[in-house]
């Protein structure tokens, strides 16, 4: 930020940059509390932590006004309380990180005054406390700190050691923390640090009184893992059904479309787009042809085609009711025979596999008989192997195209007893 700094002390934010540096050196922070100070500091710190946590739970429009109730002296009480090791346990709450982020956003520039720096320091303490808590080492670290001459150095060191161990073992602490901290808090912190990077680097060089490995670990995880995984609260790596979970989350999202705009408006825009027929074609492809081209069984992509098809269907169901969707299904699409001279208005499917769409029996048979291994045969052969119980009679009528006819039905009459058309096939007519 380019906001000019005032060299005078701010009534609410405290000393300006860099005048407050001398208050937060290792030597200054090592001064212990007197017995008379301790009781008051602990009471104030506990109350302040509760207020900051509550700040993160407020509606977005109320947060800025609420930050004015948390004063500089209240924030200082938290730093003073950390001189008593057992009090650090109160900082191991992800909501404290989010609340500190709200306080930091109220200061401009972030490190221009003492207030912003203290908020950042508390946030950093909270993030590292959360790391140790997730790793199961917070209690043991606190016990060690009670007998150490430089307790905060031990705190930073143990957190850094846990970060190193997690990175080396590729464990799950980073993902757990990304799910615990809100997207707004972590993303907003990255933005603030980038916007105030000049002052940030200066104070880190001059003070050298806090470890940053834990916080950088969280920011790195947020950037590398990405918002998609963070936004999926049900996502747990190494589970077999991760694709299904993500698909369900996508479906829930599209079901919420009707709350973004009136249903009538969405229906109108979808129908005006002229893309309904193509959407059904793509859905058929993902549920049918997608399986024929699927990856090996050890691939994580094996369920992706069906997941894509499910997303398309869920969008249509969210906008149209189920009955309307079934009626729309009879709309013609594009013929799946790659050599069809007029591929539009294709409304027929093979009565055996009901997977692909054709404009008529000639294109259906031509795609099946193609010397280039048309998609129809590949799909049906795969389905016959993959679903022997549900479809035991695959293509009994077209095993020999020279001798038998072929049945096709309209897409909207899938499963109907009456065949709409039954054409005898003259195999010679299919030759080029």
| In the chain, % of residues over pLDDT 90 | 21
pLDDT value at residue 44: 95
pTM: 0.52
SS3 state of residue 285: helix
pLDDT at 16 over 50: yes
Contacts of 162 (CB under 8 A, 6+ apart): 131, 132, 135, 137, 173, 214
pLDDT value at residue 350: 67
User: How many angstroms separate the CA atoms of 261 and 418, rounded?
Assistant: 41
What does pLDDT average to over the chain? 73
Question: Using one digit for the tens of pLDDT, what is the confidence trace for 349-364?
Answer: 766 666 677 777 778 7
pLDDT value at residue 111: 92
Out of 117-131, 167-181, 304-318, give the one with best mean pLDDT.
Answer: 117-131
User: How many angstroms separate the CA atoms of 334 and 347, rounded?
Assistant: 8
pLDDT value at residue 145: 92
pLDDT at 256 over 60: yes
| In the chain, % of residues over pLDDT 70 | 59
pLDDT value at residue 311: 73
User: How many angstroms separate the CA atoms of 63 and 56, rounded?
Assistant: 8
User: How many angstroms separate the CA atoms of 406 and 396, rounded?
Assistant: 9
Contacts of 264 (CB under 8 A, 6+ apart): none
Confidence tier at 114 by pLDDT (50, 70, 90): very high
* Concatenated DSSP letters of 63-75: HHHHGGGS-HHHH
Question: Using one digit for the tens of pLDDT, what is the confidence trace for 207-231?
Answer: 877 888 888 888 887 776 654 343 4
Confidence tier at 188 by pLDDT (50, 70, 90): confident
Question: Using one digit for the tens of pLDDT, what is the confidence trace for 373-419?
Answer: 666 667 776 666 776 666 655 554 444 333 344 455 544 444 333 32
Domain spans of the chain?
Answer: 19-230, 242-328, 348-430
User: How many angstroms separate the CA atoms of 204 and 224, rounded?
Assistant: 24
The b/e string for 54-85 (b: 16+ C-beta within 10 A; e otherwise) is ebbeeeeeebeebbeebebebbbbbbbbbbbb
Question: Using one digit for the tens of pLDDT, what is the confidence trace for 297-344?
Answer: 444 444 566 667 767 777 777 777 666 666 555 455 667 787 777 666
Average pLDDT on 141-151 reads 87
Least confident of 1-15, 236-250, 353-367: 236-250
pLDDT at 50 over 80: yes
Confidence tier at 132 by pLDDT (50, 70, 90): very high
SS3 state of residue 155: helix
């Amino acid at each position: 930020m380019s906001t000019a700094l005032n060299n005078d002390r701010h009534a609410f934010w405290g000393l300006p940059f860099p005048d407050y540096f001398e208050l937060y050196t290792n030597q200054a922070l090592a001064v212990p509390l007197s017995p008379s100070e301790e009781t008051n500091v602990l009471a104030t710190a506990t109350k302040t932590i509760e207020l900051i946590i509550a700040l993160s739970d407020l509606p977005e429009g109320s947060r800025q006004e609420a930050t004015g109730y948390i004063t500089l002296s209240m924030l200082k009480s938290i730093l003073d309380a950390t001189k008593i090791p057992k009090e650090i346990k109160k900082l191991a709450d992800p909501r404290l990180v989010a609340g500190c982020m709200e306080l930091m956003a109220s200061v401009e520039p972030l490190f221009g005054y003492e207030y912003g720096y203290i908020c950042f320091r508390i946030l950093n303490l909270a993030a590292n406390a959360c790391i140790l808590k997730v790793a199961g080492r917070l209690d043991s670290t606190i016990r060690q700190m009670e007998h150490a001459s430089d307790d905060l150095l031990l705190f930073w060191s143990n957190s850094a050691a846990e970060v190193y161990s997690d990175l080396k073992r590729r464990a799950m602490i980073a993902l757990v923390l990304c799910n615990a901290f809100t997207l707004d808090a972590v993303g907003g912190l990255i933005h603030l640090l980038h916007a105030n990077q000049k002052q940030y680097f200066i104070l880190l060089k001059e003070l050298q009184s806090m470890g940053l490995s834990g916080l950088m670990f969280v920011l790195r995880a947020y950037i590398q893992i990405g918002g998609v995984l963070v936004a999926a609260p049900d996502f747990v790596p190494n589970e077999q059904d991760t694709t299904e979970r993500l698909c369900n989350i996508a479906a829930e999202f599209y079901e919420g479309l009707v709350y973004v705009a009136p249903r009538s408006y969405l229906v109108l825009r979808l129908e005006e787009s002229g893309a309904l027929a193509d959407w059904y074609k793509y859905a058929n492809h993902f549920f049918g042809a997608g399986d024929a081209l699927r990856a090996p069984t050890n691939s994580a992509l094996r369920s992706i085609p069906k997941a894509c098809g499910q997303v398309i269907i869920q969008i249509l169901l969210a906008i149209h009711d189920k009955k309307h969707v079934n009626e729309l299904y009879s709309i013609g699409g594009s013929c799946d025979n790659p050599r069809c001279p007029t591929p539009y208005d294709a409304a027929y499917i093979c009565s055996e596999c009901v997977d692909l769409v054709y404009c008529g029996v000639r294109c259906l048979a031509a795609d099946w008989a193609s010397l280039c291994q048309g998609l129809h045969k590949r799909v049906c052969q795969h389905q016959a192997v993959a679903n022997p119980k549900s479809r035991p009679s695959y293509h009994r009528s077209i095993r020999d195209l020279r001798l038998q006819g072929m049945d096709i039905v309209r897409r909207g009459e899938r499963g109907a007893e009456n065949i709409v058309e039954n054409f005898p096939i003259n195999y010679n007519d299919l030759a080029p």
